[in-house]
Amino acid sequence: MVITGVPVDPDREEARRLLEDELRDPSYQLHESLVVRAWRWVNDHLPALDLPARLPSWTAWVVLGGVLLIALAVVLFAARDRWRRRGPDGRGPGGVLDEAGTSATDYRRRAQQAMTAGDHRAALLDAYRAVAAGAVERALLDPRPGRTAHEVAVSLAPVLPEEADALARAADRFDAVRYGGAATGAEGARRMLELDRRVAA
C-alpha cells in the first residue's frame, strides 16, 4: 500500500502546516478546571448586566456578591435544625434527650453531682434534660428522639404558661452552652436547677 497524501520529505511550509494541524487535535488542548470555566463564564456574562451608565463598573460585582451572600444565608438557615439535631462533635443524634433510657431522676442526680464537682456546664445541660425528661414522663411531651431545646420550650409553653419565658431563656442558654461553647457559671446552672424544680412540682 502506498501513501500518497503525506510527503516523505515535506518542505518547510508543508511541515509547519502539518504540525499546526496536529496541534489542533483536542488531545493537546489544556483542560480547564470547573472553577476556571465558571470564572470565565461569570466574566463573560457579568458585563452584560444592564446597569445604568452612571453606575461604576464594579457595581455588578457588588450585586453578584450580595446575591451569593443571600443564597448562603438561606442555605445556612435551612440547615440550622439539622445541625442542632447533631451532637457538638457532629457524629450522631444531638437532641436534648439523646441518651436512651435515662430518666429525669437520673438527669437530676447527674446535675447535682456536676454542680457539687464545680462542672457548671454539665450541671446546666443535665438540669435542662431533666426538665425535658420529666415532661415526657408526665406525658406533657410525647417521647420523640432528636427534639431540640427550643422544641421542648415551645411545646411546654401552653401547658406551663407561667414558665414560658423561663423555658425559652433556658432553651437559648442550653443551645449556647452545648452548641456554641458558651461558658456558664454557678448562677446559670443554679437557675436551670431551680427551673427543673418548679416544672417538676
Q: Where do the domains of the chain lie?
A: 59-201
Answer whether residue 2 shows pLDDT above 70: no
Rounded Cα–Cα distance for residues 35 and 75 (Å): 21
Residue in the block written with cell 416544672: 199
pLDDT at 83: 59
pLDDT digits (tens, 9 = 90+) for 102-124: 899 999 999 999 999 999 999 99
Q: How far apart are CA 147 and CA 115, in angstroms?
A: 25
| Range of lowest pLDDT (39-53, 85-99, 184-198) | 85-99
pLDDT at position 194 is 95
Q: Residue 54: pLDDT above 70?
A: no
The CATH fold assigned to 59-201 is: Four Helix Bundle (Hemerythrin (Met), subunit A) (1.20.120)
Selected residue with higher pLDDT from 52 and 57: 57
Reference 197, options 99, 88, 108, 75; nearest CA is 108
- Give me the chain's average pLDDT, please: 82
**Spatial distance between the Cα atoms of 56 and 90, rounded to a whole number of angstroms:** 45
What are the pLDDT digits (tens) for 9-33?
A: 778 898 889 888 888 887 777 777 7
- Does this model's pTM top 0.75? My answer is no
Length of the chain: 201
Phi-psi region for residue 146, left (φ > 0), alpha (ψ -120 to 50) or beta? Answer: left
Give SS3 for 86: strand
Question: How far is 120 from 42, CA to CA, in rounded Å?
Answer: 52
Give pLDDT, residue 23: 82
* Phi and psi torsions of 86, nearest 5°: -100, 155
**pLDDT reading at 91 higher than 70:** no
pLDDT tier, 4 (very low <50, low <70, confident <90, very high otherwise): low
pLDDT at 190 exceeding the cut of 70: yes
